[in-house]
């Protein structure tokens, strides 16, 4: 399926990697080809929730949602802030099954199936080049910005801020599906995605859900608090317990869970907000992480798209209070986040949707041959600057080791 999608100029390949979660709809979902494209929320409004749509929203779309905000930093990806497409072909495997479903109004599904199963794998012999990534901030510069954030916290401007650092490599020639296949094998994640349109591609191994809708129910699952994995099972379990009991990490997660409760309350019925999971530790190939789950019942007068945009951008990637921390982020981060901290996902003809948080991702501009990624973490008053830099490095390992295995 992955090799078959690469013939299309535009597609979204969304892989669950068999992870169980509070909501699992598809094991694999693919939209390929575009019969129509949408680049504004106004154009989307009349069709969102009534047909298949795949697409993304950049973090910097916040400037449209809040007119007073801006983004003055360096753009590495240079893509559109919002883009959705109606696919010519949809293929999916329902979660927990091995049955392939195909839908297309333009091409006989038997023809699509034959094309998929006879597609040759041209990625097996490709190996990633050795690349040298350049960080936009040095360790010292990052730690200076941690101090700036903590001064804002001491003055009462905010409680927590997610501070990120961009890294990039120039003159990169990438086999996009082959690189994603390697990334997804080394770091399988429940919200993995390979998303391509025009000359942009996102290779995403995200473990985090932003927002999903099932019927009239909304589900957000903010992630805050991480710790490394160990090959030693005893040490690994001890690290997991250490994260579970860490006062700072629990405080980070609680603040964002509370922020997401407020974000969902904008679109949900009074009294319907619930927290079925609080501070639960999930394990992934390179780290343990803490996740809370917040649910709510959508108001009758709110549309699916309104619910999505009312909660955007996700609190786990901003901090609290959201408005002021977005202003601080714009002032102290030298690179625009663009698709990083944004979301990739879909909505189906039943009105249900699911969007991830674009983290643990490689972003590629085929025109400029620039490959970039960003990593970061939540800064609180208890943060220790050099340990925050260590967390930035830890999250970068899973991406950079693809190009420098040693």
Residues with catalytic roles? 208, 224
SS3 state of residue 79:
coil
CA–CA separation, 222 vs 381, rounded Å?
20
Token pair 């992630």 in the structure block, residue: 223
SS3 state of residue 286:
coil
Q: Would you call the peptide bond into 359 cis, given omega within 30 degrees of 0 as the criterion?
A: no
Long-range contacts of 176-181 (CB under 8 A, 24+ apart): 176/6, 176/201, 176/203, 176/364, 177/2, 177/3, 177/5, 177/6, 177/123, 178/122, 178/123, 178/126, 179/126, 179/128, 179/203, 179/362, 179/402, 180/2, 180/13, 181/2, 181/123
CB 402 within 8 A of CB 129: no
3 state SS for 114-172: HHHHCCCCCCCCCCCCCCCCEECCCHHHHHHHHHHHHHHHHCCCCCEEEEEEEEEECCC
CA–CA separation, 300 vs 306, rounded Å?
12
CB 288 within 8 A of CB 229: yes
Taking only Cα atoms into account, the Rg of the chain, rounded to an integer number of angstroms, comes to 20
SS3 state of residue 193:
strand
Nearest residue to 6 via CA among 203, 168, 191, 187: 203
Quick one: tokens of 68? 């007073």
């Amino acid at each position: 399926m992955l090799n078959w999608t690469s013939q299309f100029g535009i597609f979204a390949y969304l892989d669950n990697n068999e992870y169980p979660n509070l909501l699992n709809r598809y094991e694999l979902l693919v939209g390929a080809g575009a019969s129509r494209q949408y680049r504004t929320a106004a154009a989307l409004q009349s069709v969102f929730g009534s047909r298949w749509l795949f697409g993304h929203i950049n973090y910097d779309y916040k400037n449209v949602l809040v007119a007073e905000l801006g983004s003055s930093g360096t753009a590495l990806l240079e893509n559109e802030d919002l883009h959705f497409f109606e696919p010519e072909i949809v293929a999916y495997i329902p979660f927990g099954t091995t049955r392939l479903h195909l839908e297309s109004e333009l091409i006989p599904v038997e023809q699509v199936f034959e094309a998929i199963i006879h597609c040759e794998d041209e990625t097996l012999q490709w190996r990633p080049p050795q690349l040298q990534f350049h960080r936009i901030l040095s360790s010292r510069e990052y730690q200076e910005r941690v101090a700036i954030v903590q001064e804002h916290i001491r003055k009462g401007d905010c409680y927590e801020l997610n501070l990120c650092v961009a890294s990039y490599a120039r003159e990169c020639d990438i086999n996009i599906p082959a690189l994603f296949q390697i990334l997804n094998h080394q770091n399988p994640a429940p919200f993995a995605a390979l998303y391509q349109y025009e000359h942009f591609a996102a290779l995403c191994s995200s473990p985090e859900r932003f927002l999903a809708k099932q019927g009239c129910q909304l589900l957000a699952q903010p992630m805050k608090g991480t710790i490394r994995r160990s090959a030693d099972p005893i040490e690994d379990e001890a690290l997991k317990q250490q994260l579970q009991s860490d006062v700072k990490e629990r405080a980070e997660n609680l603040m964002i869970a509370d922020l997401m409760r407020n974000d969902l309350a904008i679109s949900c019925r009074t009294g319907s907000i619930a927290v079925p999971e609080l501070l639960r530790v999930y394990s992934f190939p390179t780290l343990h992480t803490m996740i809370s789950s917040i649910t709510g019942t959508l108001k009758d007068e709110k549309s699916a798209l309104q619910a999505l945009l009312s909660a955007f951008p996700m609190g786990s990637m901003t901090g609290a209070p959201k408005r002021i921390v977005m202003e601080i982020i714009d002032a102290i981060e030298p690179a625009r986040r663009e698709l990083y901290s944004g979301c990739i996902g879909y909505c189906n003809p039943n009105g249900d949707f699911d969007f991830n948080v674009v983290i643990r991702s490689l972003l590629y501009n085929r025109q400029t041959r620039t490959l970039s990624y960003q990593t970061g973490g939540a800064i609180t008053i208890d943060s220790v600057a050099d340990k925050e830099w260590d967390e930035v490095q830890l999250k970068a390992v899973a991406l950079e080791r693809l190009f420098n295995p040693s």
